[in-house]
Structure 1
Amino acid sequence: MRSLAVVVPKPDSQRAIDGLEDEGVYDDRRKVREHDADHVELPVTAEPDAVPFERAIAQADPDPRAPDLGDRLRERGWSAAERERAPSSWAVLGSVILADFTDCPRPGEVGAALLELHREADTVLDRGDGVAGEHRTPDVSVVAGDGDTETVHVEHGTRYALDLAAVMFSPGNKAERARMGDATGPGERVLDMFAGVGYFALPMARAGATVTAVEKNPTAFRFLAENAQLNDVAETLDTILGDCREVDAPADRIVMGYYDALGGGPVGDAASTPGYLDAALDNLVSGGVLHAHSAVPEAELWERPLSRLRAGCQRAGRPAPTVLDTRRVKSHSEGVFHVVIDARVP
């Protein structure tokens, strides 16, 4: 049996797969196959119209897609009880696989199996205890592969260069990143107060908005500036290294992508230092839209974040906000959810 595949460079493989899936021609019944040291073969049901590729080939002996991680571990002699303790999910970010190995026996064997499942990847990381400290530094360790933690991850056409051992990147925020690109457009002024490597700033700049992106972690800032160039938005994405509470940037839309962004009153070394919400409202024009992220226990949804938002508006002498939308982005921890409130402030 001969089956069709398209040959693409390895760094472009995940972006190409996403595009092929969107186009409806990706054949998920077959595995991605290594073509040579620099290319992979992506299985397709027909030649794509929108996704670029170097050439189409006929595979004489196509590889059926491997059943799943559990089957591969069973082949390695893992018992049912051991397989239950293996990661149940993982994320492929460019050439890096990120998973939680907290209770997993023999992580190296699982890492090797994951690399067999995802030929486009070359490193497997244990995500450890998440992120820590003011700069939200990830706690990761290499489980398998060559250990290269720098990669370029592509989502909905946006390219994110990053080092997963040095800067935070949450796979669970994928839909929110795409949604922010859809929420804005040409002519709009946007302030991203916690930009990181450009999680939200890049999709919004690519949509045509003029974006001011603020980040205080020097490593994340370096990737933010690089990603502005990588995505051809350097002319409309102004990057600032520093504390977002000290930035004067009037905006029609402000993104506060930090769990403690709604934390009540003044924060910092002096009472005169404004809180994050205070600083946001100082920059948000009348009628502007605020996207406020928060981590909230389920029992306090939605009263706690909404009451903090209303209190902040009252402190700033602004009228009560109009809530446009509330969303649960993902589970943050047991009984706690990462949520977003969209509100228009008169």
Structure 2
Amino acid sequence: MRELIQLEVKGHTLWGTYHPATAAKPSRVGFLFLNPGHVPRSGHGGLSARAADALAAQGFPCFRVDLPGLGDSDGPLPETTAELYQFVCGGGFVEVAQAVHAELLKRHGLKGLVLGGLCGAATTSLYLADRAPEGIEGVFMFEPEFYLSEQEAAGAGGEAPPEETGKATLRSRLPLRRVTSKLFSYWGWMRMLTRENEYARLFRYVPFPRQFLLDLLMDWGTLPAVANVPLVRAWQRVVERGVPVLVITAEGKLRDVFFDRIHRAAFADLKVATLERLRLRGTNHIFTTGGAIDACIGHLSRWAGEHFVEGAAPVAGMPQVAELHGAR
């Protein structure tokens, strides 16, 4: 069962979908799905809608809300998608998402919400979990992007952006090491080696030391010049606080490889007990091939049952990074 909902927040009228929990005793923890990039709240291939249905069947109230200008919600939009991506990278939707979060908690009497979604939804959710953690029980991030838009990085001359200068309470204790590699040499090789540009076709049938070159390119202990440093800092702080986080990526693709480098640079050898990291084989960025949508929903449902069911025993001995291969 689904219900259309309307939210009046920060001068915006937003539209969303409410999936009431179908269990006899609903959980006081709900799930909130935000827009994946500029895509409506249903998500690519219905990922968000189907995932919310599955979680509601487990007893979790679920919500999918269109942010201003996206889906059914009115609001200003930039002229190009590149500008929208820069807006999301900088946390432009965080203030509205925070107001949505507060309104849903109040309206439904919930203890907290688990936030997330694909791509841009993961970015906004991570920023929000860092800046306003009260009432945020966890974060799920599908194909998160920890890099700047290529246009913004180019405008910075290929250099990593300056770190934010917030209050001392917002600083992570962990160091970040950065390099200032040339943007286009690094970015071009990354896109080719993860088979995400036009030149990758040339090497499909030709022997090519892809992994060797990838290892050579990736200085695993440092951040690349195109890293979104404020988002990486938010990542450090959220994980340091022990917030349960689920990360799912498409194995071998750009965001998968980039996340590995970001995570290693941000945490080095620190064990992260509350992070679960999964890779789905044989799929794309939006999980629409290889049965990945079903696999993603299955992993999310299991993770939700392990962490957010009241009275459930905590998961003991979870490794720093749990890697499961195969989308089926």
Do they superpose with TM above 0.5? no
TM-score (norm 2): 0.29
TM-score (norm 1): 0.28
**Structure with greater proportional helix content:** 2
**Structure with greater proportional strand content:** 1
